Structure 1
Amino acid sequence: MNVHDRLDPVAGVDPLPADDFRRQGVKAVVDVGASNRGAWRHGADKYLAGTGLRDALAGMPDGEW
């Protein structure tokens, strides 16, 4: 899983790496968008506090993470 904010100065360079990682032709990474606030959007605390990551984890089948 890749959680990204397009305005994140680190993750925003290539916010959709799922296109780059495949397992037997099938995407092996799920891209999840987030909207962090503030000047520095790359902090883990911002991703953990957001609903994008939590919603994606809640929707995963048991054993996937």
Structure 2
Amino acid sequence: MSEGRVIGERDVRRACSEERAGRRDTLALERVEEALAQAGGNKSRAAQALGISRFSLYRALARSNVRA
């Protein structure tokens, strides 16, 4: 963790922020996977169900390394 240094408020806030971001990414990925499953793999329909553009869906998939 912190070698020879006192953990300060800034360190705690950063760790909490990173944890929240990770949870958000996980939840978003779960929603994308669920939408794709419900759309039978059709990315256009999945994007529409999520209320995002098909391009945004492709970007989300690329960032998460999901192959769909």
TM score, norm. by length of structure 1 = 0.22
Larger Rg: 2
Structure with the higher fraction of residues in strand conformation: 1
Q: Which has the higher contact order (CA 8 A, sep 6+)?
A: 1
**Under a length normalisation based on structure 2, what TM-score does the superposition of the two structures give?**
0.22
Name whichever structure is richer in helix by fraction: 2
